[in-house]
Amino acid sequence: MADYPAHLERRGRLADGRSVLIRPIRAGDERRARRFFDGLSDETKRLRFMGGDAPNAKLIRFFTRIDYDLHMAFVGEHDGRLVGDARYMANPGGTSCEFGIVIADDWRHSGLATLLMDALVDAARARGFRRIEGLVLRDNPNMLGFVRKAGFEAEGEPHEPTMVRVVKNLRSTSSV
């Protein structure tokens, strides 16, 4: 496992004045991550985990013990509480990555998701990925609206009619 990338930590201020720390997750966050995922509403868990339950202990360990290269995760932290999680994992071939993001129910529509997604996209671009993509349930209009505002394009998922694939090109559009 690589050293903790402290240089990726950043502070953000939300429209309502709250300050959050956006930082890479650490192995020491395991208990707080468990509380975060357990505290999500059933509907939020369904939307994030595509119908599944919150992560079990094995998955929480996987979520918190990352390599910061092929698997990157940022958390939003406020007063010691984890209030958001955004992550990517490299796809086979190493030119793209798959993302997931979830915000605590009492922090939704605060602007936190934008801060986390910005950190995630910046890290994916710096890592050299050409695109970042994810699957979103068709019945999740809030997420579909959010990713469209973030510059993602929606594509049909032919083998899974309940899902939409969202894709963002990470290559610079400026000429060199």
| Crossing angle between the packed helical segments 30-38 and 57-64, to the nearest 10 degrees | 120
pLDDT the model gives residue 54: 74
pLDDT the model gives residue 156: 84
pLDDT at 1 over 70: no
Structure tokens at 161: 């009619």
* pLDDT confidence bin for 175, thresholds 50/70/90: very low
Higher pLDDT, 156 or 99: 99
pLDDT the model gives residue 173: 54
pLDDT the model gives residue 50: 84
Whole-Å CA distances, 167 to 38, 104, 116, 135, 164: 29, 24, 17, 9, 10
pLDDT at 174 over 70: no
pLDDT at 169 over 70: yes
Q: What average pLDDT does the segment 165-176 reach?
A: 76
Give phi and psi for 145, each to the nearest 5: -65, -40
Distance of CA 144 to the CA centre of its chain: 14
Q: What average pLDDT does the segment 43-48 reach?
A: 93
* Residue in the structure block whose two tokens are 């505002």: 149
Structure tokens at 168: 């963002």
Rounded Cα distance between 116 and 122, Å, is 10
CB 123 within 8 A of CB 72: yes
pLDDT per position as a tens digit, 49-76: 987 777 889 999 999 999 999 999 999 9
**Alpha-carbon torsion 21, 27, 29, 34, what sign?**
positive
